[in-house]
Amino acid sequence: MSPLDITRRDAATGPVLHVAGDLDYTHAPGLRHHVRQLTLTPGQCLVLDLSGLEFCDSSGITALLAARQHVQAADAAIVLAAVPSNLMRTLTLVGLDRVFTVVPGTDGL
């Protein structure tokens, strides 16, 4: 099990959180905490860079959905970037590929 490491940088469109390690039952509250600490303004976009994600279980997916709710409450947008293939397969199976905007990487952000 890899610990969850979340780092933040700011882009012109809003914050970018790089999420690395395991997003599981033990570590999902960490992502929820980071997202809740963000002050987003209408029109901003939160990018979750998942390029370093090694594992994501249902608790992690729930944390991603909670992040989406937080962002929508601020009238902002959320993008999942560099989603690992195994997580993309899961998101597609459960229809969340139509709920989240998914982009191949963070270039240009």
Q: Is the pLDDT of residue 97 over 80?
A: yes
Q: Is residue 109 part of a domain?
A: no
Q: Is residue 108 part of a domain?
A: no
Predicted confidence (pLDDT) per residue in 43-92, tens digit: 999 999 999 999 999 999 999 999 999 999 999 999 999 999 999 999 99
Q: Is residue 87 part of a domain?
A: yes
Q: Is residue 96 part of a domain?
A: yes
pLDDT-based confidence at residue 108 (cuts at 50, 70, 90): low
Residue 33: give its domain's CATH number: 3.30.750.24
What's the rounded Cα separation, in Å, for the pair 69 and 21?
Answer: 23
Terminal alpha carbon distance of the chain? 30
Q: Is residue 92 part of a domain?
A: yes
Domain count, the chain: 1
For 36, the domain range is 5-103
2-29 average pLDDT score: 96
- The residue among 44, 45, 30 whose CA lies nearest residue 80 is 45
Q: Is residue 51 part of a domain?
A: yes
